[in-house]
Structure 1
């Protein structure tokens, strides 16, 4: 049997066993103790996180991180993985940022020179751009793990009203427009609310629970208009173009033959605060017909800006 095959077999044995002695390896693979120690050193050099305990009751212990057995990728598959990594490039914080860099380094080191050149070109010629925020989200990985484990959290959260302590059950996290968001069940208000992960100042305590709760995918699928309001907007050709880049509008736009269009749909009243700045940015390229509350929001916003510059002298 080749040394590579023997090392792979010992790696699988050690990874499954977690704690073992050199004698157990020797008996399992019919090799000498001396050969076992040499193979263990080889595996350690390859990255197996293993700890040796000396003495009568000593042996080897594989530390917390489990290693996967070697996986054979084609060069095109490796290039496709770098393509996926490229889509994450513009996010300041990622839940497994260090692990992504480590995996990328290992994959890149294993490539032949021509494949490395192809990967370098991908990095230079394609981007999945998001606004690169300077805001830190130090608890991103913690809230993701709490979501997966079904934990309840007590957090300190910074909002417009100040810093408050909230008791929540996180459903998962998602990224949008360069920021990370956390839908979570708020136990005080007894409903799911949306939080900005960067506004979590501290995780005060964590409580594990076994009850089954919805996850992020369930939450996305369960969206419904609970407080419907009629949205009717006339769009110029430029208005259509810009609205098509907004995910929440994309499926609502009706385009006319001349390229202009309109939105005529029912939305949730709770979305008015979110869509007001979007339509304000569109200016004359979007004329709101309904609802009156949205028109009033836009008028108020415009008057606040006019007031700010009313006494500015002409240049």
Structure 2
């Protein structure tokens, strides 16, 4: 780690640790005693309000009545922040309303005119293409707030047929231009994923929370996948097929490579055969289905129907 990066990390360290000793810095940042002492001198020059507490159990204290100095960013780090904000412009809706535009303006105004022009020019030199939100949705902010507060929500789900859901949402993700919300269906005691534009009449259940740790969530998800998705599939693909897969992956699939071949492998439920067959159609002639037979049959049936429709 470069010195400038380490100094910034140590500033964050001081915000969480108002009292520490030299060994804490040495062990946390894997540096020598002499380097830790030099870092402390550098931080004091930057204005960090440190107080030396002498004695056997002494160390350093950060004074509570003073603010830590601002974090300094290098030019490339500044560009990286603005590039990240630029990416959000391709998304119609986000869990943060449109606060990113306000952030961009506020950050830009902290620089002089010359630097502002340099940043704007840099933004024009890099574009994000092919990353567009396809369907608008109006419930991301509420879902995001519910996730942070471990709140249970109810809503009508209308993707297939109108059905009321009672879930604990845990994650929002955008895939191929669509927002999805994953959560625990409390009525079925099972993990489910929902397309957000089909979520209607969303309500937060007041004074009704359920807190699960990340470890509990991952363990429960893994247990469900192992019992629900019990059919192994294996599809041989080419280098072009590999590129398509990397652009359009799913969590229950992965690449497997040998010295000469590349495969897409994973597990599915019987009810997902049609979905997987449709997904594989997009690979064109870049795949060969090896197993199971049921997947190959479903795939061939789709091809026959497509052929019949276009006679």
TM-score for the superposition, normalised by structure 2: 0.66
| Structure 1 residues 300 and 70: CA distance shift in structure 2, 3 A | farther
* Secondary structure in 2 matching 1:152: strand
Q: How many aligned residue pairs are there?
A: 239
Which residues of 2 match residues 148-227 of structure 1 at below 5 A? 148-160=148-160, 162-214=161-213, 218-219=217-218, 222-223=221-222, 224-226=225-227, 227=229
CA contact (8 A) 1:90 1:132 kept: yes
Verify the 8 A CA contact 1:243 1:250 in the aligned structure 2: no
Q: Structure 1 148/244 Cα, relative in aligned 2: closer, same or farther at 3 Å?
A: closer
Change (3 A) 1:80 1:220: farther
The structural deviation recorded for 1:214 is 4.5
1:187 shift after superposition: 1.8
2:236–2:263 Cα contact (<8 Å) kept: yes
Q: Relative to 1, partners in 2 of residues 1:282 and 1:167: Cα closer, same or farther, differing over 3 Å?
A: same
- In 1, Cα distance between the equivalents of 2:68 and 2:99? 17
Which one is further off, 227-236 or 284-293? 227-236
Asked whether the equivalents of residues 253 and 266 of structure 2 are also in contact (C-alpha less than 8 Å), the reply is no
Displacement, 1:212?
2.1
The match for 1:252 among 236, 255, 259 is 255
Gapped regions of structure 2 (runs ≥ 5) = 1-66
Answer whether contact 1:75 1:111 (CA < 8 A) is retained. no
Q: Distance in 1 between matches of 2:131 and 2:266?
A: 30
Secondary structure at 1:101 match in 2:
helix
CA RMSD of aligned residues (A): 3.0
- Whether 1:308 and 2:291 are equivalent positions in the alignment is no
Contact in 2 for aligned 1:244/1:250 (Cα 8 Å): no
**Per the alignment, in what secondary structure is the counterpart of residue 166 of structure 1?**
strand
Judged with a 3 Å threshold, the aligned counterparts in structure 2 of structure 1 residues 186 and 221 are, in CA distance, closer, same or farther, namely closer
The reply to whether residue 234 of structure 1 matches residue 229 of structure 2 is no
1:155/1:165 contact within 8 Å kept: yes
Query: Is the Cα contact below 8 Å between 1:135 and 1:198 reproduced in 2?
Result: yes
- Tell me, yes or no, if the aligned pair for 2:237 and 2:264 is still in contact at 8 Å: no
Q: 2-side partners of 1:110 and 1:297: how far apart?
A: 59
User: Residues 231, 250 of structure 1: CA spacing in aligned structure 2 closer, same or farther, 3 A cutoff?
Assistant: closer
Q: 1:155 deviation in Å?
A: 0.4
- Name the structure 2 match of 1:13: none
* 1:84-126 Cα distance to aligned partner (Å, 9 max, x none): 2123231111111322111111111222233223322332222
Distance 1:182 1:119, change over 3 A: same
1:90 matched residue in structure 2: 90
2:63 maps to: none
Per-residue displacement from partner, 1:123-152 (whole Å, max 9, x unpaired)? 222234444234211000001101111111
Contact 1:148 1:172 in 2 (8 A): no
Give the secondary structure class of the aligned counterpart of 2:282. Answer: helix
TM normalised by structure 1 equals: 0.66
Name the CA distance, whole Å, in 2 between partners of 1:284 and 1:232: 16
Task: Classify the secondary structure of the residue corresponding to 2:99.
Answer: helix
For the residue of structure 2 that corresponds to 1:104, the secondary structure is helix
Give the SS at the match of 2:300. Answer: helix
Task: Name 1:103's counterpart in structure 2.
Answer: 103
> Cα 1:74–1:213, aligned 2, differ >3 Å: closer, same or farther?
closer
Q: Structure 1: where are the runs of 5+ without partners?
A: 1-67, 311-315
